[in-house]
C-alpha cells in the first residue's frame, strides 16, 4: 500500500495525488464519495451508470473487432489449407 501525505487547506480542501487519480479514473469535475469506516476516511471514485455503460460499450466493440479478425484469419486459413475434414466419422 502506497501512502501519500497532503496538507488540508484552510477550507478543508485536499489534492488527490495525480497517480491515484490516474489509476482510479478520477478526472477534474468528478464527484467522489467520502465514507467513514471506524477511524478511517475512505475516498471512493465515481461509479456512475454512464461511466460503467461506456466501459461495457468499449468492451463490446473490442469483442466485435476480435471476432472480425478471427473470421479473417479463419477465411485465410481455409483458403490456404482447404476446408477442415469432417471428424464425425
Report residue 60 CA to chain centroid gap: 13
- C-beta separation of 41 from 34 below 8 A: yes
Reported as a single tens digit per residue, the pLDDT across 17-56 is 999 999 888 888 888 989 999 999 999 887 777 777 888 8
Confidence of residue 10 (pLDDT cuts 50, 70, 90): very high
User: Per the confidence metrics, is the pTM higher than 0.75?
Assistant: no
Half-sphere exposure of 84 (CA within 13 A, CB side): 7
Residues in CB range of 84: below 8 A, 6 or more apart: 78
Sign of CA dihedral 46, 51, 52, 55: negative
Amino acid at each position: 500500500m502506497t501512502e501519500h501525505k497532503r496538507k488540508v487547506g484552510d477550507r478543508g480542501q485536499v489534492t488527490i495525488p495525480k497517480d491515484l487519480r490516474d489509476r482510479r479514473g478520477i478526472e477534474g469535475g468528478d464527484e467522489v464519495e467520502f465514507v467513514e469506516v471506524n477511524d478511517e476516511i475512505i475516498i471512493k471514485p465515481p461509479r456512475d451508470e454512464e461511466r460503467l455503460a461506456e466501459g461495457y460499450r468499449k468492451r463490446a466493440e473490442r469483442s466485435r473487432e476480435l471476432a472480425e479478425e478471427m473470421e479473417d484469419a479463419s477465411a485465410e486459413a481455409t483458403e490456404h489449407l482447404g476446408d477442415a475434414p469432417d471428424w464425425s466419422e
